[in-house]
Structure 1
């Protein structure tokens, strides 16, 4: 069997396993009947609805994954405290922005996970993801000047960087290590 065919079968099996897991979590049971009906629903969904193939890198760096998850947890706690302070602040002046951030990756998986990771941190929400341009558009709170915009962009690119180093392809991780100066920022586009 060809490596590309084997990789496609692995991706499909992983998708089915994820759908079965989701089904079991929705029902709150992991018995035989729930697993079998979950398999049936997963197969039905896979064949009836078009789900674009997500190309997996086949590489997971456990240390970098732990760093990503740890930093994400720290970001969530820090941002929650900042939002709480803004709400309680007597002279809070709201200033928000929609910011376009050009990502380094073209991987759908990395782009999606970056968008999810950015969205679960309080203070910003992804409003659009342009796959063809690898651009993430997000609404950010408490943005007053260009320095604040640059800080938000740096946080998003840092999240993407940690994801690439954790689960990205070897080629993307190597390119990222060699290209420290690559930062593309789009404002108001």
Structure 2
């Protein structure tokens, strides 16, 4: 029993060192994930895996984080090896297919592709999911993020070679499929249930 002048277990004077340590560990973990993700994006944009690109990416990311600090984005999910492998494999396949498609358009005589901008509302409206999905979509040739509605969790995507309404539907489905793969790779259990609860063909 504690007296009126003695701090109890939950009294602010005693504090909870363990909670403070866990908070610092989470912050460091989030920083490491942010740095690793940005460096990976830097290497993918250059298209060349080398020590020079790795060092350059680290320097650029360090400068960005120091001079243009990003808002805090907490990583509440967990890494899943199977999901990461599926995501990486499908991303490489789609990267090759999209590159060949864009190359065919570029060399096809007299062909003028039509483009469109589609709005896609994501099912997991977190900053991390918005950022990851937007980056992956932009890395695939033929699609480019032109605007992000953070409050509404909507991506506005420029799509190349649109021949009819069916292509717009297919583009939305593809972007939501990318989101589902990302959540399956790094999302929390609640986010995974959320992304699976809405079919990809629903608005």
TM-score grouping bracket, smaller chain normalisation: 0.7 to 0.9
Residue from 125, 146, 158 that aligns with 1:106: 125
TM-score of the aligned structures, taking structure 2 as reference length = 0.72
Structure-1 residue corresponding to 2:178: 159
Displacement of 1:48 after TM fit?
Answer: 5.4
Instruction: Quote the residue 1:65 is aligned against.
Output: 84
Q: Is the aligned partner of 1:126 residue 2:141?
A: no
Shift of 1:129: 1.2
SS of 2:91's equivalent in the other structure is helix
Structure number with greater Rg is 2
Alignment of 1:82 onto 2:101 = yes
Query: Within 2, Cα distance between the matches of 1:56 and 1:78?
Result: 31
Q: What 5-or-longer segments of structure 2 have no aligned partner?
A: 1-17, 43-50
| Unpaired segments ≥5 residues, structure 1 | 30-34, 185-189
> 2:158 is matched with which residue?
139
- What secondary structure, in the 3-state scheme, does the structure 2 residue paired with 1:129 have? strand
RMSD: 3.1
CA contact (8 A) 2:173 2:201 kept: no
Residue 57 of structure 1 contacts residue 170 of structure 1 at CA under 8 Å; is this kept in 2? Answer: no
What is aligned with 1:8? 27
Aligned counterparts of 2:87 and 2:161: Cα–Cα separation in 1:
24
With the length of structure 1 as denominator, give the TM-score of the two structures.
0.77
Inter-CA distance 48–62: structure 2 relative to 1 (3 Å threshold): same
2:75 is the counterpart of 1:56: yes
Partner of 1:101, secondary structure, is strand
Superposed displacement of residue 9, structure 1: 4.0
Q: Which has the higher contact order (CA 8 A, sep 6+)?
A: 1
